[in-house]
Amino acid sequence: MRRCAAIVAGWLLVAGQASAAGLHLPTTARQWAGLVLAGALYVVFQGLGEWLFSRRRGEAISARRFSPYRIVFGVFAGALLVLAWLALARWLQAL
């Protein structure tokens, strides 16, 4: 939980610095909500990645530390996360 709080605080710090530097400031409440939502989703995806690639789940895929099965699983899971992120971005852009 502390790690998630640190990531959220870091995201808000980066967003604040970007805003202070004058880099394309959000102008509407929806844009600000999207900025905050992106940080929250990053934390969720980071936690999901840690859960998926934990030692316990890795051993369930293959007993060997390095194996083609783990690589295929990682590429597939990563592709699903990227597709989910892109779908969300496209949906938010359409709003």
Encode pLDDT of 9-55 as tens digits: 777 777 777 767 666 667 788 777 777 777 777 777 778 778 877 88
Distance from C-alpha of 81 to C-alpha of 27, rounded to nearest angstrom: 29
Extended beta strands in 28-70, E state: none
CA 5, 8, 11: angle at the middle one, nearest 5? 150
Percentage of the chain modeled with pLDDT above 90: 0
Residue 80's pLDDT is 87
Eight-class DSSP state of 28: S
- In this prediction the pTM is 0.52
